[in-house]
Every structure is written in C-alpha cells, then in structure tokens.
Structure 1
Amino acid sequence: MLPSASPRSPRSANAMVESLMKGTGFGQPRSRRSQRLRLWLPVAISFVIQVPPTIASVLWVEPSLLVGIATVTLAVLGPVLLIWVRRYPGPIVAILSVAGAADFLLGYSWTTPPYLALAFAVVIAISHGARTWTWVSMIVAWEGTLLAALLAGVALEPPRVVATTVGLLLVLGFAEANRRRLENFVQFQKAFTDRREQELREERVRIARELHDVLAHSLSQINVQAGVGLHLMHKQPEQAEAALASIKSSSKDALDEVRSLLGMLRNEDAAAGEFDSDAVPPVPEPDLSRLESLAASVRTQGLTVILSNDVPEQTPTAVQLALFRIAQESLTNVVRHAAATAATVTLVIDGHDYVATIADNGVGIDTDGHTAGRGLLGMRERAELLGGTLRVAEAKPRGTVVTARIPRRSASA
C-alpha cells in the first residue's frame, strides 16, 4: 500500500512503540498521585523506623532529660526535612549529615535505630545533581563524628564504626548507581525522541516525493492531452475524444493514489495497519508490471517509447517501486522539457546491480543546472536510499541519458 508497504516507513514501528509506552507509562508525565507518593513515602518510612524506636530507646535507657529531648528531636527532624530535600537537596543533605552525626553520638548504642532519613537524603540529593554537597557533607560529618567522639571520650566499638562506615559507602554507591541509571534513562529518552523526529522527517520527505511523482506525471499527461484535445476538437473529433478519455483515466489514477495516501495520513490507526470502515481503500504501490501501461500513456502524447525490461518479477518490492518511479519521472521530464520524439527505457541486471536507463533524443540537459528540480532530486534520493546511484548525462549526438544503479545485495538485505 502506498504509504505503509514501503520498508522505509517508520509509522508501524512508531505506533507499536508508542502503544507500549502508553501501557507502561514510559515517557509520560508523572501523575500527581505518583508525585505525592514519591514525596511522602521516604518521609513515612524514615519516621516509622526512626521515631518510635528512638522514643522506646530513650525510655529504656533513661538518659538525662536534655539528652532524651535532643535525641527525639533529631529523630523527628530527619523525616521533616525530607519534605524539602527535592527543592533544596544540597543544604538539606548537609543539615541531615550533621543531625545524623549528633544522633550517632547522643544515642550511641547497638539498640539505636539507623538514621534512615540521611540515607534517603543522600540518594535524592545525588539524583538531583547535588553530588559535591553530598560527598563533602558525608565525609566532613563522619570524620567530625569520629573526632568529636575521640575528644569527648565516647567509647566507640570498632565493629560498629566499621559497620557504619560500610553502610555509608553502600548508600553512596547506591546513590551514584541510581544517578547513572537516571542519566542513562534520560539519554535513552533523548535518543528515542531524536530518532523519532528523524524518522518523521524522512517520512515527510517520502510522502512529498510520492506526491510529486504522482502529480507531476499525471498533470503532465493531462496538460498535453488537453492541448491535443483543444487542437483537434473541430478537425478530428474522434482523436479529441481519445485525448479526453486519456485525461479521464490519468486523472482517475492520480486521484486514487492521492486519496489513498491522504486517507492514510488522516487515519489514526493507519500506522498499525488498521483502517476505519469509511477510510479510502489503499492503492497498491506501483511495480515493474505497470511499466507497459506507463509507456502506453506516454505514447498517447506523441512520444515513441521503446521499452525493454529484463528485471524478474521476484525483484524486491522496494527496488521495483524505485525503478518504476525513476522511469516515470524521467519520461515525465522528457515530455515536459526535452522536446523529444523518441525515448528508450531499458531495465537489466548488470553483474551485481539492477540498472535502469532512460534515454531520449531531445534537446539535452542544461549544463548550468537550471533544470535540476525536485524531480531529479527525488530520483537520486530513491536510488541512494537503496545504496545505489543516479547519473544524468548528455547523449550523443543529442538528448539525455538517465542511469540508475541499485545494488542487488543491499536491496535484498
């Protein structure tokens, strides 16, 4: 089908990927419920793990009133400050590092719960770009804790010092790994977006090329046949009638192809291969079997066309479409610009290449390049997209030769 059968069309792949993304939530804005959950879940977890056990520990150990109040206050301070850690990640992680150090010294015991709020703050701060704040705060706070314990005469058991050090390193390591994962995720999203935009640009170029080839050829035929009909209307009515019939046939074919293309563009489900009941039926893409009808339509415009096609029917669809469109555009240029009386279209297999040659006996090409328009650009793009080349040169003694080569190996890959 005109837009979807081409192997270069990215619409089906994009539709499948976007459908999967919608189902998984990938690439979609986070809901307000999800944002609230991400905000309050660390607060709730750190509060449950820190505050009740700390209160129980204070009641069990029965320290001085001032130490007990300070210990419970520090335990509550951690979860409260987590509320603002995403807005002020650097300062919050620095404050919580000092609070964690004070909690470690004041309530130093094997039964004292870990200062979990600091772990959450470290992960969140690093993921929000406050790496320097986090590393400096953690290093200074831990070294200050050990120095303060030494100066204050607090006896620290080596196993707990080692366990706390390892715990802090594990938290930092997890935070860095999480940061790299998020960065890779963002890079993947950007790469996906760039690739999708590139594919959409290529798709727009492909559609423009298809429309140009269809309309340029058909309108050229209609213009010539209309001129013939007007000229012969009174002298040879039967030939004028044939010219009008050719106009009707050419316009119908062009309208069918354009309507099919535009109908697919309007259809939301066209990319997935599903069509509404009111959609325009798709028109099959042209292949080399339509070369004879192409030559016949050009002959009706007074041009002698000799056609020779030795390319087999088993040739890949993309190659057949490219060769047909190159031949169509070349003959259209011959009719419109060459003032030729005869043209030859030859398609052969030359070694490892498909070769299409279109020659005429017209006025030749403009050596200054003024006649090189979108038609020539479209032909060259069609050949190059399949790994081939297109060459336009003057023929001897007069005329123009268009030669397109498409590798057989790359076309079948």
Structure 2
Amino acid sequence: MYNTRWWDIAVAAGLAAIAALSLAGLGASGPSGWWLTAASLLVFVGGYAFLRPGIVTGAAPTWRLAVGIPLVVLAIVIGIAAAPFLAMLQTLAYPLVWVTTPARREAIVGSAGVAAATFVGFLLNGAFSSEAMWSGLLTAGVSLVFAVSLGLWISAIAEYGEDRARLVAELTDAQEQVERLSRERGAADERERLGRDIHDTLAQTLAGLTLLSERAGRQLARGETDAAAGTIATVEQLSRDALAEARGLVARTAAVPGDAVLEAAVERLAERFRAEAGLVVQVEVALEGDDGMTRDAQLVVLRCLQEALSNVRKHAGGASVRVIVEADASGIRLVVVDDGRGFDPDRRRTGYGLDGMADRVALAGGTLTIDTTPDRGTVLTVALPIATPPLSSLPEEQNA
C-alpha cells in the first residue's frame, strides 16, 4: 500500500529528533533518565520492525500485530515514565497502527492501547499523583480523539479512491468488451455486405455465362456455327464484365466502373439479359438532371435491377420485362414489371436474392415493395431518397 522507504526515513528522523531534543534538555535528566529514553527508543524500533511488513500489504499478519503493537505501547510507557516529552512518540505510533491494522475496528483498538500507554506513562512519571492523572487523561484523551477522527477520515478517503479505481477498471473492461463486440459486429456486417455484392454481381454474371455456354454447346451440336460464334462472343463480353465487376468489388466502386451515366448502365444491363435469356426488355429512363445523383444511389439501382432481371430469368418464366427508372428532386424510383408466373409473397423463401435486395435498399434509406400473386406477373418497385447514404461511409455497425 505504501513505500516502506519513506516510512523508514520518517521513523528514523522522528526518533533521531526526539533523541536529540532529549539530550538538549527537553527529556529526562541524569543517567537513569537517559538509559530509559534509550531503552524506549530501542523498544519502539523493535515494534516498528515487526509492523513494517504490514506497511506494504496494508495489514500486518496477526502474530506481528500481537508482538509489534505491544512493543510500541511498552516503548511509550517507558519513554513517558522517563520524561513527559517522550509523549511525542504518539506522533509515530498512531499512524503506524492505522497503516498496519487490517480494519478500522482493529485500528481503533490499537489507538486505544497507545492512549492507555500514554496515560500509564504520565502516572508513572508523576508517581500516581492527581496532577499526573489529569495530565495523562488530557493528553491521552485529546490525542486519541484526534488520531481516531483523522484515521477514520483518511480511511474513508482511501476507500473512496479504491472504489473509484475499481469503477474505472470495470468501465475500462466494459469499453474493451464493447469495442470487441463492435469489431465482431462490423466484421459480420462486412461479410454480409460482401456476400450480397458477390451475389448481385459475380454470381449473376457467372450464372449468365453458364446459360450462354450451354446454349453455344447446343448450337454447335446442331451445326449452327454462326449462332454459336455470336453466343461465344457474348460469353467473351460477359467475361470481361465479370472481370470489371470483380475489380469494382475490390475497389468498392459501382457495378459498372467505367460508366458514370445511369441511363447507359441500365441499357447495358438490359442488353446483357436480352442476350443471355432472350428476354424482351423494354427500358424507359426519365432522369431530370442526374448529375446530382450520387454514385452509391446509382449502384443500388443497378444492383436491384440486376437481381430483378435475374429473378425473371430464373423463376418467373416470362417473355418480356418493362424497366422504368425515374429520378427527380424528391428521389429515385425503379420499377420492374414482368409477365411471368408470379408468386405468393407471404410464402417462405429459401433464396437470398430478394432478402439481399431488401437489405441493400434499407441501408440506403429507401423502400422495396413487391406486388405479385400467382399467375399474374410481378411488379417490383424500389424508391430511394436522392441523398442516398454513401455505401463506403455507413456507420461502423453497418460497414466496418
């Protein structure tokens, strides 16, 4: 609890000052008085030696207290019996008792022992006279009250400091735990975002390449070399698109990295699905000054359109799709209408596409609505605010 070096210095300096002042005439006179003074100081040193280990730990072992405190008490009795001036030993005894005892009750009992030794010393010095008794009572009583009051006050301050230190340690542990959980949540969200991007880009493109490759194989088997060559050329173009998409994922850029104009990107995506699935894709783009549209808003629109067209190709079984992209000062709207078989929107889905699209739109602050019933086709609508939050600057819990 405390540095014993400073205690060693304080006790040595205090005893040396008492010895010096005693020799200067403030203490006992005559050889017998000097011997008693020396004996008192030596006994006090012995008591300090027993109590000293408790200064570091905050509480000396019981057996050391049982030896050390009686030696200190005995030193005070001997010293005051030789000369009342040696009541100065109380200034060292009281703090030593409070520092080395384990609890307040033991400290108060030890302090009472020091006060009793002071009273006995005065009685012995004054040959049990009434004057000596009153001097002893006054000195012991005042010193005991002062020592106990000061000890309780300092103990309360020390306990308060320990409580504060414990609370700080608990808060530090809690902050570290929150930081660790935040990193884990951020990593999980990043994995989810990456999975969504891969599904909406590379997975869709690879699925298209598979269909086109199968078509080219069938065309070659039938001897339709010209048609197969055209299909293979489309495969080559889609492969380049897949490479561009992979680079875009690495750089966290838009799905069409080299095209900053939404209308051109939508048309390019529609042309790709015309080639892949033979769909009739009608595109209507009405943008009123898309210069104010963020790159991330374009990315959300293109990802949702890509997923919608892919669902038409894989599940709807339709022949035509109408794509409407509108933007004005209030926001952006994407509408995809197909003539396919439709589905029950309340039925549990096993795929990831629509759920991933809903997550992407929600992160952008928009809404996704699906109007469909079996055998009636599907109308998918995505509405985004014009100021879509940057995907690269989402809060930590969404984009670590």
Q: Does 1:110 align with 2:110?
A: no
Q: Deviations over 1:245-269 (max 9, x none)?
A: 11122123224433664xx5xxxxx
Q: Does 1:335 align with 2:313?
A: yes
| TM-aligned CA deviation for residue 117 of structure 1 | 10
| Contact kept in structure 2, 1:103 and 1:115, CA below 8 Å | no
- Tell me the equivalent position of 1:306: 282
| Contact kept in structure 1, 2:345 and 2:370, CA below 8 Å | no
Distance 1:297 1:93 in 2: 85
Q: Deviations over 1:242-294 (max 9, x none)?
A: 21111122123224433664xx5xxxxxxxxxxxxxxxxx4732263522211
| TM-aligned CA deviation for residue 147 of structure 1 | 4.2
| Contact kept in structure 2, 1:383 and 1:390, CA below 8 Å | yes
- Tell me the equivalent position of 1:49: 6
2:377 counterpart (382, 395, 399): 399
Distance 1:97 1:323 in 2: 81
Structure 1 segments (4+ residues) deviating >6 Å: 93-99
Distance 1:47 1:189 in 2: 35
Structure 2 spans left out of the alignment, 5+ residues:
19-37, 77-88, 120-139, 257-261, 395-400
2:208 counterpart (209, 221, 230): 221
| TM-aligned CA deviation for residue 102 of structure 1 | 4.3
SS of match in other structure, 2:292? coil
Please give the TM-score of this superposition, normalised by the length of structure 1: 0.67
Greater displacement, 373-382 / 229-238: 229-238
| Contact kept in structure 1, 2:202 and 2:245, CA below 8 Å | no
Residue identity matched to 1:57? G
1:197 counterpart (184, 198, 222): 184
Q: 1:139 to 1:104 in 2, by over 3 A?
A: farther
Structure 1 spans left out of the alignment, 5+ residues:
1-41, 83-91, 120-133, 265-281
Q: Deviations over 1:206-231 (max 9, x none)?
A: 11111111233212321232233233
| Contact kept in structure 2, 1:97 and 1:138, CA below 8 Å | no
Q: Does 1:251 align with 2:232?
A: no
Q: Aligned pair count? A: 324
Question: Rg larger in 1 or in 2?
Answer: 2
| Contact kept in structure 1, 2:369 and 2:381, CA below 8 Å | yes
- Tell me the equivalent position of 1:325: 303
Q: Deviations over 1:107-164 (max 9, x none)?
A: 8543679559959xxxxxxxxxxxxxx9xx5332343344445555445535555443
- Tell me the equivalent position of 2:108: 143
Q: Does 1:356 align with 2:331?
A: no
Distance 1:172 1:97 in 2: 24
| Contact kept in structure 1, 2:294 and 2:388, CA below 8 Å | no
| Contact kept in structure 2, 1:98 and 1:141, CA below 8 Å | no
Greater displacement, 294-303 / 152-161: 152-161
SS of match in other structure, 2:332? strand
Q: Does 1:70 align with 2:47?
A: yes
| TM-aligned CA deviation for residue 60 of structure 1 | 4.8
Matches within 5 A, 1:77-96: 77-79=54-56, 81=57
Distance 1:94 1:208 in 2: 64
| Contact kept in structure 1, 2:334 and 2:383, CA below 8 Å | yes
Q: 1:308 to 1:109 in 2, by over 3 A?
A: farther
Residue identity matched to 1:322? V
CA RMSD, 1 decimal? 3.7
Q: 1:142 to 1:351 in 2, by over 3 A?
A: farther
| Contact kept in structure 2, 1:341 and 1:361, CA below 8 Å | yes
1:207 counterpart (194, 204, 207): 194
| TM-aligned CA deviation for residue 200 of structure 1 | 0.6
Distance 1:337 1:155 in 2: 97
SS of match in other structure, 1:369? coil
- Tell me the equivalent position of 2:253: 284
Please give the TM-score of this superposition, normalised by the length of structure 2: 0.69
| TM-aligned CA deviation for residue 408 of structure 1 | 4.0
| Contact kept in structure 1, 2:46 and 2:71, CA below 8 Å | no
Q: Deviations over 1:55-111 (max 9, x none)?
A: 4434554425433201232124423x47xxxxxxxxx58869969x94997585436
Residue identity matched to 1:66? V
Distance 2:65 2:302 in 1: 76
Which structure: greater helix fraction? 2
| TM-aligned CA deviation for residue 179 of structure 1 | 1.4
Residue identity matched to 2:91? W
| TM-aligned CA deviation for residue 405 of structure 1 | 2.4
